Amino acid sequence: MPPGHCFKGFPTCFSHLAPRRMLNALIRGDLSADVLSATGSHVKHALRVRVVPYAEDVVACWLMVTTTYLRT
């Protein structure tokens, strides 16, 4: 983290692989909306995804959504 910057992030898990459904859930969520709508100087967003397959077509799709920005 650069000096003077703030970090926000959160993990979430989905039991499906439908990107549109995931995005809609992220937009509706209070915590995710706070991270996704961060504004200011030097804002950078990041997304990390890990899919863990299980038997019988069951999945755990983990998303880590983050942002960093310059504190004002």
Tens-place pLDDT, residues 4-28: 888 999 999 999 999 999 999 998 9
Quote the CA–CA distance of 59 and 72 in Å, as a whole number: 41
* 62 pLDDT more than 80: yes
User: Cβ distance 10 to 65 under 8 Å?
Assistant: yes
34-49 residue pLDDT tens: 888 888 788 999 999 9
Predicted structure pTM score: 0.81
Q: Is the pLDDT of residue 55 over 90?
A: yes
Q: Which pLDDT belongs to residue 57?
A: 92
Reference 63, options 11, 16, 9; nearest CA is 11
Q: Which two tokens stand for residue 54?
A: 């299980």
